[in-house]
Amino acid sequence: MRHHDLDRRRQQATRQPAPARRTSNRAVIVLAVSAVALAAAIALVACSGVAPAITRAITSSAGQPDPDDGAGSMTDGRFGTADGVLDENRFTVDDVELPGIANLDPDLLEAVRQATEAAADDDITLFISSGWRSTAYQQHLLDEAILRYGSEEAARQVVATPEGSSHTRGAAVDIGATDADYWLIEHGSAFGLCQTYANEIWHFELATTPGGECPELLPDAG
């Protein structure tokens, strides 16, 4: 009997470490899952890129992606086509059904039309990426810039106030793409169109008479 008791004790002693190994394995699995979750969270934050308050998306008026992606669905936050929102490098002077183009000063619109026809002879397309803007939308752009640059003083160098903006008066156009900007800088004065800010090669206004000399560039919108 003693030999049997000794055998049983030896068998029990051999089996005792097994639960400890199972507990250790569970701990390793928990730690591994936690590490994966932490890495995923860090990656999500890193990929966001900008503050949520200034993130833009093309959505329908209901706030859902518009499968048609038509002109009427362009939005920037709560602002849409009716406020002058335009896609970059998509529309030309002929898209007069869009308020951002239709509400431009008639003389400016005609000058851009003539420049567009002349640029086409050089295989250059003048896109209007921004034209007339509502005062509320201009304020929205300024608010975004303040968040991005950290102060109103810095933001004013790239975005004017609604009261000071030529866009809210329909007196300015932002032209794209870059080859069109440089073409218009060189040839725009023939139509009265001038780059007005040194830090914005895309911003043009009717600032001289056709064939006249453009005024000296302002450093920025401030």
Mean pLDDT of 27-52: 38
C-alpha distances in Å from residue 163, one per residue of 114, 136, 138, 139, 214 = 29, 11, 9, 9, 24
| Pairing mode of beta strands 200-206, 172-176 | antiparallel
Mean pLDDT of the residues in the chain: 77
Residue 221's pLDDT is 86
d(CA 106, CA 109): 5
Whether the Cβ atoms of residue 111 and residue 206 lie closer than 8 Å to each other: yes
At 177-186, the pLDDT tens digits run 999 999 999 9
Facing residues of 75 across strands? Answer: 80
Query: What's the pLDDT score for residue 29?
Result: 40
Look-up of token digits 């002349």: 118
pLDDT tens sequence across 64-119: 333 334 444 466 778 999 999 999 999 999 999 999 999 999 999 999 999 999 99
Per-residue model confidence as pLDDT tens digits over 128-141: 999 999 999 999 99
Q: Hunting for tokens 């043009």 — which residue is that?
A: 204
Question: Which amino acid, 83?
Answer: D
- Cα dihedral 20/26/32/34 (nearest 10): -120
In which band, very low, low, confident or very high, does the pLDDT at 149 lie, cut at 50, 70 and 90? very high
Q: What tokens appear for 106 in the block?
A: 């008639």
Find how far residue 59's CA is from the centre of its chain: 13
If you average pLDDT over residues 166-186, what whole number do you get? 97
